[in-house]
């Protein structure tokens, strides 16, 4: 062999090795990507969604899959860290060649992923991100949960119903979710004739809230609206109780984690939060879902389990209706979703790719999330 041919020959050998190892690794099934916070600060969010997705996957693949093929989930952990979601989503699209994406729970991380999915023409379904801006990113971004302008309204109406005239608000300025929810609560509470007193803020990860809570105590509100995640909500409420603030706290879906009670204990007793789902529902479809979940995981499902379950089932339904896994056609089929029977309610996507669904109000009672009422849109 001539010296000059060597690199070419070497490249050919390397190519063959790579090709055969790729062939060996080639897996069957329709590749669907999931990005979730399986570890890190908000790990219960990602773990719950993933369990819901896995339960749906068992059911879908157990009954023959989609278009004669199983769905193959490829799940990446973003460790709850900013910046990791974009890396994960790029890998899922370019390396794993996923035809659709499921993710995320936290609105901030969905907002990180959405422009990438949109630019790549890959449909993305967020199971649980409620911030308005998420689906505004473009026509490839969908969600199966209600949005915060509705959730904030629900909480404000509920506060008035409790008889509150003065509400304080504590916002996490590091989260799109918290900022959006605080804004919509405030608008509606003022509309209801209420007064906002003692608006305070903090940044995710803070541990000492005594300055904010001292200010709130002197404002003397009837209720405190706390659009926080479960990572800070119980700490804030515990410190509030220590300072002698006895009024109820009201939160949104971000409170939904067993850690709310685990960390908050007696301090969170009697508090209320809005959510997508109650596992105490007597709807036969929900009962069957809760039973199947308990059987598989030996625990009760939270809202993110239910939303993850709905997200993958809705995607599978769209693929069937599309008759293909071509992302553009699947995208059109998702957009056309009408009356899909989710365990979190009936899902019809509007022209902004959002569903209109009822919310439930839950109360912490004896350490359990107890159903109070359903609020229709
Ligand atoms: N809605 C929250 C967000 O957008 C996430 C969340 C959904 C948390 C459901 C708990 C339950 O950031």
One digit per residue, the tens of pLDDT, for the chain of length 377 reads 444 555 555 554 455 444 444 444 568 999 999 999 999 999 999 999 999 999 999 999 999 999 999 999 999 999 999 999 999 999 999 999 999 999 999 999 999 999 999 999 999 999 999 999 999 999 999 999 999 999 999 999 999 999 999 999 999 999 999 999 999 999 999 999 999 998 999 999 999 999 999 999 999 999 999 999 999 999 999 999 999 999 999 999 999 999 999 999 999 999 999 999 999 999 999 999 999 999 999 999 999 999 999 999 999 999 999 999 999 999 999 999 999 999 999 999 999 999 999 999 999 999 999 999 999 99
What is the spatial distance between Cα 139 and Cα 155, in angstroms, rounded to a whole number?
Answer: 29
Fold of 26-145+282-357: Rossmann fold (3.40.50)
Query: What is the whole-number distance in angstroms between the Cα of residue 324 and the centre of ligand 1?
Result: 31
Pocket residues for ligand 1 (CB within 6 Å)? 45, 105-107, 128-131, 177, 253-254, 256, 303-304
Tokens of 111: 């907002």
Q: Which CATH superfamily is domain 149-275 in?
A: Response regulator (3.40.50.2300)
User: How does DSSP classify residue 222?
Assistant: S
Query: What is the whole-number distance in angstroms between the Cα of residue 276 and the centre of ligand 1?
Result: 9
Residue whose Cα lies nearest atom 12 of ligand 1: it is: 106
Please tell me the pTM assigned to this model: 0.92
Query: What is the whole-number distance in angstroms between the Cα of residue 211 and the centre of ligand 1?
Result: 27
Query: What is the whole-number distance in angstroms between the Cα of residue 127 and the centre of ligand 1?
Result: 9
Residue whose Cα lies nearest atom 4 of ligand 1: it is: 129
Q: For 96-117, give the DSSP string.
A: S--SEEE--SSHHHHHHHHHHH
Are 310 and 303 contacting, i.e. CB atoms less than 8 angstroms apart?
no
Nearest alpha-carbon partner for 289 in 47, 40, 51: 51
User: How does DSSP classify residue 4?
Assistant: G
Domain with CATH 3.40.50.2300 in the chain: 26-145+282-357, 149-275
């Amino acid at each position: 062999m001539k010296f000059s041919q060597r690199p070419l020959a070497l490249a050919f050998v390397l190519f063959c090795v790579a090709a055969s190892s790729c062939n060996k690794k080639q897996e069957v099934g329709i590749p669907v990507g999931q990005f979730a916070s399986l570890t890190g600060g908000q790990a219960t969010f990602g773990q719950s969604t993933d369990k819901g997705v896995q339960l749906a996957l068992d059911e879908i693949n157990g009954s023959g899959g989609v278009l004669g093929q199983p769905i193959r989930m490829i799940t990446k952990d973003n460790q709850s860290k900013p910046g990791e979601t974009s890396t994960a989503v790029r890998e899922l699209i370019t390396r794993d060649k996923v035809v659709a994406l499921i993710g995320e729970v936290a609105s901030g991380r969905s907002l990180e992923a959405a422009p990438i999915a949109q630019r790549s023409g890959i449909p993305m379904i967020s199971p649980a991100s409620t911030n308005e801006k998420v689906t505004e990113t473009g026509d490839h971004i969908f969600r199966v949960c209600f949005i915060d302008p509705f959730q904030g309204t629900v909480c404000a109406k509920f506060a008035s119903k409790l008889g509150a005239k003065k509400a304080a608000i504590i916002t996490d300025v590091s989260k799109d979710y918290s900022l959006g929810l605080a804004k919509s609560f405030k608008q509606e509470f003022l509309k209801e004739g209420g007064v906002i007193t003692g608006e305070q803020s903090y940044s995710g990860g803070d541990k000492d809230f005594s300055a904010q809570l001292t200010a709130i105590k002197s404002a003397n509100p009837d209720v405190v609206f706390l659009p926080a995640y479960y990572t800070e909500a119980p700490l804030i409420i515990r410190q509030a109780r220590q300072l002698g603030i006895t009024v109820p706290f009201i939160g949104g879906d971000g409170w939904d984690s067993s850690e709310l009670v685990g960390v908050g204990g007696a301090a969170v007793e009697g508090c209320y939060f809005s959510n997508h789902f109650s596992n105490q529902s007597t709807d036969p479809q929900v009962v069957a879902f809760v039973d199947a979940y308990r059987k598989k995981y030996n625990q009760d499902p939270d809202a993110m389990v239910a939303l993850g379950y709905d997200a993958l089932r809705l995607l599978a339904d769209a693929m069937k209706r599309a008759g293909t896994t071509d992302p553009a056609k699947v995208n059109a089929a998702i957009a056309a979703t009408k009356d899909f029977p989710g365990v979190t309610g009936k899902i019809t996507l509007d022209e902004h790719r959002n569903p209109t669904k009822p919310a439930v109000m839950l109360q912490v009672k004896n350490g359990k999330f107890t159903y109070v009422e359903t609020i229709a849109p």
